Amino acid sequence: MTQQLDSDGRLLHLLTLEGLPKETLCRLLDRSGQIRDAALGRTQKRNSLLGITVCTLFFEPSTRTRSSFQIAAQRLGADVVNFDASTSSARKGETALDTLKNLEAMGVRGFIVRHPEDGAAEMLAGNAGEGTTVINAGDGRSAHPTQGLLDAMTLRQAKGADFSKLKVLIVGDVKHSRVARSDLHALRTLGTGEIRVCGPEALLPEPSTLAGCITGDDFDAMLRGVDAVMMLRLQRERMEEGLVASIDDYRRDYGLNAARLRLAAADAVVLHPGPINRGVEITDQVADGPQSLVLRQVSNGVAVRMAVLESLLA
Ligand code: NCD
Protein backbone atom coordinates (compact mmCIF):
# COMPACT_ATOMS: atom_id res chain seq x y z
CA MET A 1 0.00 0.00 0.00
CA THR A 2 1.21 3.49 -0.81
CA GLN A 3 2.52 5.18 2.31
CA GLN A 4 0.35 8.07 3.34
CA LEU A 5 2.70 8.98 6.20
CA ASP A 6 6.43 9.70 5.87
CA SER A 7 8.99 8.29 8.30
CA ASP A 8 8.41 11.24 10.66
CA GLY A 9 4.66 10.53 10.71
CA ARG A 10 3.85 13.52 8.51
CA LEU A 11 0.87 13.07 6.16
CA LEU A 12 1.86 12.95 2.47
CA HIS A 13 -1.54 11.85 1.13
CA LEU A 14 -4.85 11.03 2.77
CA LEU A 15 -6.05 7.71 1.36
CA THR A 16 -7.68 5.94 4.30
CA LEU A 17 -8.22 6.31 8.04
CA GLU A 18 -7.13 2.71 8.49
CA GLY A 19 -3.91 2.67 10.48
CA LEU A 20 -3.84 6.43 10.92
CA PRO A 21 -2.41 7.04 14.41
CA LYS A 22 -4.81 8.41 16.99
CA GLU A 23 -2.63 11.52 17.48
CA THR A 24 -2.84 12.34 13.76
CA LEU A 25 -6.58 11.85 13.72
CA CYS A 26 -7.09 13.95 16.86
CA ARG A 27 -4.76 16.66 15.56
CA LEU A 28 -6.91 16.93 12.41
CA LEU A 29 -10.09 17.02 14.50
CA ASP A 30 -8.67 19.67 16.84
CA ARG A 31 -7.59 21.79 13.90
CA SER A 32 -11.02 21.38 12.28
CA GLY A 33 -12.59 22.73 15.45
CA GLN A 34 -10.26 25.74 15.54
CA ILE A 35 -10.84 26.57 11.90
CA ARG A 36 -14.63 26.19 11.96
CA ASP A 37 -15.45 29.91 11.88
CA ALA A 38 -13.22 30.41 8.87
CA ALA A 39 -14.77 27.33 7.25
CA LEU A 40 -18.21 28.87 7.56
CA GLY A 41 -17.04 32.11 5.97
CA ARG A 42 -17.39 34.04 9.24
CA THR A 43 -13.82 35.33 9.07
CA GLN A 44 -11.67 36.62 6.25
CA LYS A 45 -10.24 34.20 3.74
CA ARG A 46 -6.90 32.74 4.79
CA ASN A 47 -3.81 32.64 2.65
CA SER A 48 -2.01 29.50 3.78
CA LEU A 49 -2.49 27.91 0.32
CA LEU A 50 -1.94 31.07 -1.72
CA GLY A 51 -0.27 30.22 -5.05
CA ILE A 52 -1.18 26.52 -4.80
CA THR A 53 -3.56 24.95 -7.32
CA VAL A 54 -5.68 21.96 -6.40
CA CYS A 55 -7.96 19.92 -8.61
CA THR A 56 -11.13 18.04 -7.74
CA LEU A 57 -10.75 14.98 -9.96
CA PHE A 58 -14.18 13.37 -9.89
CA PHE A 59 -15.16 10.26 -11.83
CA GLU A 60 -18.45 9.85 -9.93
CA PRO A 61 -21.24 12.27 -9.09
CA SER A 62 -21.00 14.38 -5.96
CA THR A 63 -22.73 17.36 -4.38
CA ARG A 64 -21.39 17.80 -0.84
CA THR A 65 -17.91 16.39 -1.08
CA ARG A 66 -16.86 18.23 -4.22
CA SER A 67 -18.31 21.59 -3.27
CA SER A 68 -17.02 21.45 0.28
CA PHE A 69 -13.48 20.62 -0.88
CA GLN A 70 -13.75 23.48 -3.34
CA ILE A 71 -14.96 25.92 -0.68
CA ALA A 72 -12.33 24.65 1.78
CA ALA A 73 -9.50 25.16 -0.73
CA GLN A 74 -10.75 28.62 -1.68
CA ARG A 75 -11.08 29.70 1.95
CA LEU A 76 -7.40 28.80 2.34
CA GLY A 77 -6.49 30.96 -0.66
CA ALA A 78 -5.82 28.13 -3.14
CA ASP A 79 -6.86 28.14 -6.79
CA VAL A 80 -9.23 25.31 -7.68
CA VAL A 81 -9.77 23.47 -10.95
CA ASN A 82 -12.82 21.24 -11.18
CA PHE A 83 -12.43 18.18 -13.38
CA ASP A 84 -15.65 16.40 -14.24
CA ALA A 85 -15.28 13.06 -16.01
CA SER A 86 -18.63 13.45 -17.76
CA THR A 87 -17.47 16.55 -19.69
CA SER A 88 -13.77 15.74 -20.18
CA SER A 89 -11.50 13.57 -22.32
CA ALA A 90 -12.27 10.73 -19.92
CA ARG A 91 -15.26 10.37 -22.24
CA LYS A 92 -12.74 9.67 -25.05
CA GLY A 93 -11.06 6.97 -22.99
CA GLU A 94 -8.27 8.93 -21.29
CA THR A 95 -7.25 7.16 -18.08
CA ALA A 96 -7.37 8.68 -14.61
CA LEU A 97 -3.57 8.49 -14.38
CA ASP A 98 -3.04 10.27 -17.72
CA THR A 99 -5.50 12.91 -16.59
CA LEU A 100 -3.60 13.44 -13.35
CA LYS A 101 -0.24 13.55 -15.15
CA ASN A 102 -1.51 16.20 -17.56
CA LEU A 103 -2.88 18.39 -14.78
CA GLU A 104 0.32 17.83 -12.80
CA ALA A 105 2.23 19.12 -15.87
CA MET A 106 0.18 22.32 -15.54
CA GLY A 107 1.40 22.76 -11.97
CA VAL A 108 -1.52 21.30 -10.02
CA ARG A 109 -0.16 20.17 -6.61
CA GLY A 110 -3.15 18.62 -4.91
CA PHE A 111 -5.65 16.12 -6.30
CA ILE A 112 -8.93 15.38 -4.60
CA VAL A 113 -10.02 12.13 -6.18
CA ARG A 114 -13.37 10.36 -6.36
CA HIS A 115 -13.53 7.18 -8.39
CA PRO A 116 -15.84 4.14 -8.64
CA GLU A 117 -12.93 1.67 -8.36
CA ASP A 118 -11.50 0.48 -5.05
CA GLY A 119 -7.89 1.57 -4.71
CA ALA A 120 -8.02 4.28 -7.40
CA ALA A 121 -6.75 7.06 -5.13
CA GLU A 122 -3.96 4.85 -3.83
CA MET A 123 -2.91 3.95 -7.39
CA LEU A 124 -2.79 7.63 -8.36
CA ALA A 125 -0.82 8.53 -5.21
CA GLY A 126 1.68 5.77 -6.00
CA ASN A 127 2.23 7.12 -9.51
CA ALA A 128 2.10 10.84 -8.81
CA GLY A 129 5.22 12.95 -9.01
CA GLU A 130 7.32 14.11 -6.05
CA GLY A 131 5.50 16.82 -4.14
CA THR A 132 2.06 15.93 -5.48
CA THR A 133 -0.58 15.14 -2.89
CA VAL A 134 -3.63 12.91 -3.34
CA ILE A 135 -6.70 13.03 -1.12
CA ASN A 136 -9.21 10.22 -1.42
CA ALA A 137 -12.72 11.68 -1.71
CA GLY A 138 -14.28 8.22 -2.02
CA ASP A 139 -13.07 5.16 -3.95
CA GLY A 140 -15.53 2.38 -4.70
CA ARG A 141 -16.61 0.75 -1.48
CA SER A 142 -13.23 1.21 0.18
CA ALA A 143 -12.74 4.50 1.92
CA HIS A 144 -13.96 8.06 2.30
CA PRO A 145 -11.56 9.37 4.93
CA THR A 146 -12.75 12.98 5.12
CA GLN A 147 -16.33 11.74 5.65
CA GLY A 148 -15.04 9.57 8.50
CA LEU A 149 -13.31 12.62 9.97
CA LEU A 150 -16.33 14.90 9.65
CA ASP A 151 -18.57 12.28 11.21
CA ALA A 152 -16.12 11.93 14.11
CA MET A 153 -15.97 15.72 14.48
CA THR A 154 -19.76 15.92 14.53
CA LEU A 155 -20.03 13.19 17.18
CA ARG A 156 -17.31 14.84 19.24
CA GLN A 157 -19.13 18.18 19.18
CA ALA A 158 -22.38 16.55 20.22
CA LYS A 159 -21.12 14.02 22.74
CA GLY A 160 -17.68 15.15 23.91
CA ALA A 161 -14.21 13.84 23.23
CA ASP A 162 -14.47 10.71 25.39
CA PHE A 163 -15.78 8.11 22.96
CA SER A 164 -15.30 5.29 25.45
CA LYS A 165 -18.72 6.08 26.95
CA LEU A 166 -20.54 5.98 23.62
CA LYS A 167 -22.70 3.37 21.97
CA VAL A 168 -22.81 4.07 18.25
CA LEU A 169 -24.99 2.22 15.73
CA ILE A 170 -24.29 2.13 11.97
CA VAL A 171 -27.33 1.05 9.96
CA GLY A 172 -28.16 -0.06 6.45
CA ASP A 173 -26.15 -0.85 3.36
CA VAL A 174 -22.83 -1.31 5.13
CA LYS A 175 -21.58 -3.72 2.48
CA HIS A 176 -21.36 -1.11 -0.27
CA SER A 177 -20.49 1.85 1.93
CA ARG A 178 -17.07 3.48 1.93
CA VAL A 179 -18.50 5.90 4.49
CA ALA A 180 -19.19 3.05 6.93
CA ARG A 181 -15.68 1.65 6.46
CA SER A 182 -14.07 5.02 7.20
CA ASP A 183 -16.46 5.65 10.10
CA LEU A 184 -15.56 2.27 11.59
CA HIS A 185 -11.85 3.06 11.38
CA ALA A 186 -12.37 6.44 13.05
CA LEU A 187 -14.66 5.05 15.77
CA ARG A 188 -12.23 2.27 16.64
CA THR A 189 -9.21 4.58 16.72
CA LEU A 190 -11.09 6.98 19.00
CA GLY A 191 -11.88 4.13 21.38
CA THR A 192 -15.68 4.03 21.02
CA GLY A 193 -17.20 2.03 23.88
CA GLU A 194 -19.58 -0.03 21.76
CA ILE A 195 -19.94 -0.12 17.99
CA ARG A 196 -23.06 -1.82 16.66
CA VAL A 197 -23.66 -2.55 12.98
CA CYS A 198 -27.11 -3.43 11.70
CA GLY A 199 -28.57 -4.28 8.32
CA PRO A 200 -30.10 -7.12 6.36
CA GLU A 201 -27.68 -10.02 6.15
CA ALA A 202 -27.17 -9.47 2.40
CA LEU A 203 -25.98 -5.91 3.05
CA LEU A 204 -23.48 -6.67 5.81
CA PRO A 205 -19.83 -6.67 4.74
CA GLU A 206 -17.07 -9.25 5.11
CA PRO A 207 -16.29 -10.18 8.76
CA SER A 208 -12.90 -8.41 8.75
CA THR A 209 -14.68 -5.07 8.32
CA LEU A 210 -16.83 -5.82 11.35
CA ALA A 211 -14.06 -6.83 13.76
CA GLY A 212 -14.95 -5.82 17.30
CA CYS A 213 -18.50 -4.74 16.38
CA ILE A 214 -21.79 -6.11 17.65
CA THR A 215 -23.75 -7.06 14.54
CA GLY A 216 -27.33 -8.06 13.89
CA ASP A 217 -30.28 -7.71 11.58
CA ASP A 218 -32.92 -6.65 14.13
CA PHE A 219 -32.97 -2.86 13.91
CA ASP A 220 -35.29 -2.32 16.89
CA ALA A 221 -33.14 -4.47 19.16
CA MET A 222 -29.93 -2.80 18.00
CA LEU A 223 -31.33 0.71 18.53
CA ARG A 224 -31.96 0.23 22.24
CA GLY A 225 -29.94 2.70 24.30
CA VAL A 226 -27.59 3.94 21.58
CA ASP A 227 -26.16 7.47 21.75
CA ALA A 228 -25.80 7.93 18.01
CA VAL A 229 -27.37 6.39 14.92
CA MET A 230 -25.42 6.67 11.69
CA MET A 231 -27.75 5.96 8.77
CA LEU A 232 -26.47 5.00 5.31
CA ARG A 233 -27.88 5.34 1.81
CA LEU A 234 -28.89 2.23 -0.10
CA GLN A 235 -26.12 2.18 -2.74
CA ARG A 236 -28.22 0.80 -5.54
CA GLU A 237 -25.59 1.73 -8.15
CA ARG A 238 -23.09 -0.66 -6.53
CA MET A 239 -25.54 -3.46 -5.88
CA GLU A 240 -26.33 -6.65 -7.76
CA GLU A 241 -30.01 -7.13 -8.47
CA GLY A 242 -32.06 -8.83 -5.80
CA LEU A 243 -29.95 -8.04 -2.72
CA VAL A 244 -32.87 -6.14 -1.24
CA ALA A 245 -36.27 -7.83 -1.53
CA SER A 246 -38.14 -4.58 -2.07
CA ILE A 247 -37.88 -0.96 -1.06
CA ASP A 248 -41.07 -1.34 0.96
CA ASP A 249 -39.56 -4.21 2.96
CA TYR A 250 -36.38 -2.23 3.48
CA ARG A 251 -38.31 0.80 4.71
CA ARG A 252 -40.34 -1.36 7.09
CA ASP A 253 -37.33 -3.19 8.56
CA TYR A 254 -34.53 -0.58 8.37
CA GLY A 255 -36.15 2.82 7.89
CA LEU A 256 -35.56 5.20 10.78
CA ASN A 257 -38.79 6.91 11.84
CA ALA A 258 -39.70 8.90 14.93
CA ALA A 259 -41.27 5.94 16.74
CA ARG A 260 -38.16 3.81 16.25
CA LEU A 261 -35.84 6.60 17.29
CA ARG A 262 -37.51 6.57 20.73
CA LEU A 263 -35.82 3.20 21.34
CA ALA A 264 -32.44 4.94 21.35
CA ALA A 265 -31.19 7.07 24.26
CA ALA A 266 -33.38 10.14 24.82
CA ASP A 267 -30.57 12.44 23.70
CA ALA A 268 -29.43 10.25 20.81
CA VAL A 269 -28.23 12.02 17.67
CA VAL A 270 -28.82 10.97 14.07
CA LEU A 271 -26.28 11.26 11.27
CA HIS A 272 -26.52 10.60 7.53
CA PRO A 273 -23.79 11.33 4.98
CA GLY A 274 -26.22 12.27 2.20
CA PRO A 275 -27.57 12.02 -0.36
CA ILE A 276 -30.71 10.95 1.53
CA ASN A 277 -33.36 8.75 0.02
CA ARG A 278 -36.12 10.49 1.94
CA GLY A 279 -38.82 8.10 3.06
CA VAL A 280 -36.61 5.04 2.45
CA GLU A 281 -33.78 4.86 4.99
CA ILE A 282 -35.01 7.85 7.01
CA THR A 283 -38.27 9.79 7.27
CA ASP A 284 -38.48 13.55 6.74
CA GLN A 285 -39.52 13.94 10.37
CA VAL A 286 -36.28 12.39 11.61
CA ALA A 287 -33.99 13.84 8.93
CA ASP A 288 -35.26 17.37 9.65
CA GLY A 289 -35.98 16.84 13.35
CA PRO A 290 -34.22 18.10 16.49
CA GLN A 291 -31.99 15.03 16.87
CA SER A 292 -30.66 15.21 13.32
CA LEU A 293 -27.11 16.47 12.79
CA VAL A 294 -27.22 16.06 9.02
CA LEU A 295 -26.56 19.70 8.15
CA ARG A 296 -24.03 20.03 10.96
CA GLN A 297 -22.12 17.22 9.27
CA VAL A 298 -22.12 19.21 6.05
CA SER A 299 -20.81 22.37 7.74
CA ASN A 300 -18.16 20.38 9.58
CA GLY A 301 -17.13 18.88 6.24
CA VAL A 302 -15.73 22.23 5.12
CA ALA A 303 -13.71 22.60 8.33
CA VAL A 304 -12.34 19.07 8.16
CA ARG A 305 -11.35 19.52 4.52
CA MET A 306 -9.62 22.81 5.32
CA ALA A 307 -7.67 21.08 8.09
CA VAL A 308 -6.70 18.23 5.76
CA LEU A 309 -5.70 20.49 2.85
CA GLU A 310 -3.67 22.72 5.15
CA SER A 311 -1.94 19.78 6.78
CA LEU A 312 -1.01 18.26 3.40
CA LEU A 313 -0.24 21.31 1.29
CA ALA A 314 0.60 24.37 3.41
C1 NCD B 1 -21.35 9.34 0.23
C2 NCD B 1 -20.44 8.82 -0.84
O3 NCD B 1 -20.43 9.29 -1.97
O4 NCD B 1 -19.69 7.94 -0.49
N5 NCD B 1 -21.77 10.64 0.06
C6 NCD B 1 -20.97 11.64 0.54
O7 NCD B 1 -19.82 11.74 0.18
N8 NCD B 1 -21.48 12.47 1.45
C9 NCD B 1 -22.43 8.43 0.59
C10 NCD B 1 -23.37 7.98 -0.47
O11 NCD B 1 -23.20 8.20 -1.65
O12 NCD B 1 -24.31 7.31 -0.07
How would you write the pLDDT of the chain (314 residues) with one tens digit per residue?
558 999 888 999 999 999 999 999 999 999 999 999 888 888 888 899 999 999 999 999 899 999 999 999 999 999 999 998 888 888 888 999 999 999 999 999 999 999 999 999 999 999 999 999 999 999 999 999 999 999 999 999 999 999 999 999 999 999 999 999 999 999 999 999 999 999 999 999 999 999 999 999 999 999 999 999 999 998 877 777 777 878 899 999 999 999 999 999 999 999 999 999 999 999 999 999 999 999 999 999 999 999 999 999 99
Span from the CA of 7 to the centroid of ligand 1 (angstroms): 32
- Ligand 1 within 6 A of CB of 238: no
Span from the CA of 105 to the centroid of ligand 1 (angstroms): 30
Span from the CA of 147 to the centroid of ligand 1 (angstroms): 8
Task: Dump pLDDT digits (tens) for 231-280.
Answer: 999 887 777 777 787 889 999 999 999 999 999 999 999 999 999 999 99
Give how far Cα 247 sits from Cα of 175, 176, 244, 281, Å: 17, 17, 7, 9
- Ligand 1 within 6 A of CB of 233: yes
149: nearest Cα among 180, 186, 189, 176:
186
- Ligand 1 within 6 A of CB of 126: no
- Ligand 1 within 6 A of CB of 141: no
Q: Note whether 32 and 299 are within 8 A (CB).
A: no
Task: Report the SS3 class of residue 264.
Answer: coil
φ/ψ of residue 163, rounded to 5: -75, -10
Give the model's pLDDT for residue 244. Answer: 82
Span from the CA of 272 to the centroid of ligand 1 (angstroms): 9
pTM above 0.95, yes or no: yes
> Which atom of ligand 1 lies nearest, measured to the CA of 178?
4
Q: What distance in Å separates the CA atoms of residue 251 and residue 279, rounded to the nearest whole number?
A: 8
